[in-house]
Amino acid sequence: MSSRRLLAARHFPRPAIRPSPSPRRAFSMSDPINRNPHPDFKKVEASRPPWNEASAFRFTRTVDPDWAFGDGANRLHRQPAGSTRREHVAIDPYADGRPDAFNYKLLISAVVPRPIAFLSTRGADGRGANLAPFSYFNVVCHDPPLFVVGFSCAAEGAAVKDSLRNLVETREAVVNVIGEPFVEAANATSIDAPYGASEWAVSGLTPVHDCQTVKCARVAEAVFSVEVRLDSVKEYQSRARPGTTSGTVVVLEGTRFWVRQDALNEDQNLVDPAILRPISRLGGITYGRTTEAIELQRPKFKQDLGGQEGLDKLQDAKR
């Protein structure tokens, strides 16, 4: 069943922008996504250093603690003497012959790190309890608590993702944040199992049926989880394959937060990253850890810059 039939949401017109003509060039069409780039992954993995247990979350100084207004990029941007000039390349996402999967690979490798929504959903009939990770995800508002999740269709005619199907049917879910202690189990739920097959069993994770505003289960191993209700659904038509739905964006409203007690401060407004140990998504099959952080104060226009007079001095110095 196509997502156009499944989702009770109208199609929106294409924007006025049209793909620009680009020179024809040859692109490799064999497995353009190539989700598993290593012929023998276990061999490659065995050649790498073991997991660093000692790598605990810590704060460091910023690159340039003495940075001042108008200084521009810090020393990491400076080009080494004798190096080749670093040029930028403009890429037309609709270049003639460019597979749309190339845009997917490019974007997920450049827009990083991305938080991951570990989504727990259920079917309207009580079957089809689903658990799956989605890295087209973020929080976009706190009052009300709003989250967005993007669902993309890998190919024309592809079946609607089970999580999206369940969301539309029941209008509820639980968003769990993936942590280091169960990253392998979470990744296992991305398996291409048929609808109705339990990713809970595949992962070995523990469903907890104690949610207060939804009937979906939360992940017991997750330090932070959010009960959510479906706010809105919007479909997008493909530019590469006109007339087909290539993506769906859902907005979810948080109705209840669940935080492991040892990770929460006394005021119940901060989660300790050293305990959360969040896993992020990078390009391809790569995941990231958050082990180091820096803090930077937000400057004040009058107090720190000197108001309009200070801004004028900076602008005059640039002339």
Q: What's the pLDDT score for residue 125?
A: 86
Question: How much is the average pLDDT of 277-294?
Answer: 97
What are the C-alpha distances in Å from 141 to residues 112, 122, 297? 20, 25, 22
3 state DSSP class of 288: strand
Return the pLDDT at 82.
66
Does 88 fall in a domain? Answer: no
Instruction: State residue 80's pLDDT score.
Output: 74
- Cα separation, 89 vs 212, whole angstroms: 51
The verdict on residue 261 lying in a domain is yes
Residue 56 belongs to some domain of the structure: no
Q: With 50 as the cut, is the pLDDT of residue 29 above it? A: no
Q: Does residue 159 surpass a pLDDT of 80?
A: no
Domain membership of residue 39 (yes or no) is no
Q: What is the mean pLDDT of residues 77-85?
A: 74
Is residue 314 domain-resident? no
Domain count of the chain?
Answer: 1
pLDDT digits (tens, 9 = 90+) for 221-279: 999 999 999 999 999 999 888 899 999 999 999 999 999 999 999 999 999 999 999 99
Question: Which residues, 6 or more positions from 203, have their beta carbon under 8 angstroms from its beta carbon?
Answer: 131, 182, 185, 186, 188, 189
Residue 118, domain CATH: 2.30.110.10
Residue 222 within any structural domain of the chain:
yes
Q: What is the mean pLDDT of residues 94-113?
A: 93
Compute φ and ψ for 182, nearest 5 degrees: -140, 30
Query: Region 63-90: what's the mean pLDDT?
Result: 87
* Number of residues written out for the chain: 319
Query: Structural domain of residue 229, as residue ranges?
Result: 100-293
Mean pLDDT to the nearest integer, 115-141: 94
Nearest Cα neighbor of 173 from 137, 111, 224, 225 is 225
φ/ψ (deg, to 5) at 18: -120, 150
Average pLDDT, the chain: 88
- Does residue 311 lie within any of the structural domains? no
Is residue 135 situated within a structural domain?
yes
